[in-house]
Amino acid sequence: MLNVEPGATVNVEPCRCCGKDRRASFGFVHDHGETVAFYYAALEPTQHGERSIVTAVSLGDWGHEVDPSTRCAAVIRAKLVNGEIELTFLEPADSPVKDRAMLGNVMSKAEAIASVACDRFIEIAGAVLLEDPDVNEHIAR
């Protein structure tokens, strides 16, 4: 059973395409008490005409002094389309995380879709959408 542990929601740099303020939420995801992932979700400005969140999900050990190269990550966009949430894998360059090295190997869209971790990335992104209150409010309002 996944349990999302939201951290803080912070103001980040303005949106690259429109200059509007952008916020981000981040935290950890646990499975039966074990930390299995870190996430960083950029809440896109609603002025874009759609509700959108770009999330970097990093799977692996997040204990102290763990080598980040043991982790793998994917970038996923969630947006509300006709009342349904649509998830799409993106390229590493679209990651909202500046220091991508801490995430581990950030997979390309094709690598993430073909990966044995594909379903896990989707499961974790879905849990974040449901359980992080700021992410949920942003996508659902």
pLDDT band at residue 16 under the 50/70/90 scheme: low
Residue 110 — pLDDT band, cuts 50, 70, 90? very high
Range of the domain at 9: 2-136
Specify the number of domains making up the chain. Answer: 1
DSSP 14-59: PPTTT---EEEEEEEEEETTEEEEEEEEEE--GGGSS-EEEEEEEE
Q: What's the pLDDT score for residue 81?
A: 81
List pLDDT tens digits, range 19-64. Answer: 777 788 999 999 998 999 999 999 876 655 677 899 999 999 887 7
Look at residue 55 and tell me if it is in a domain: yes
The answer as to whether 141 is a domain residue is no
Residue ranges of alpha helices (H) inside 32-117 are 109-114
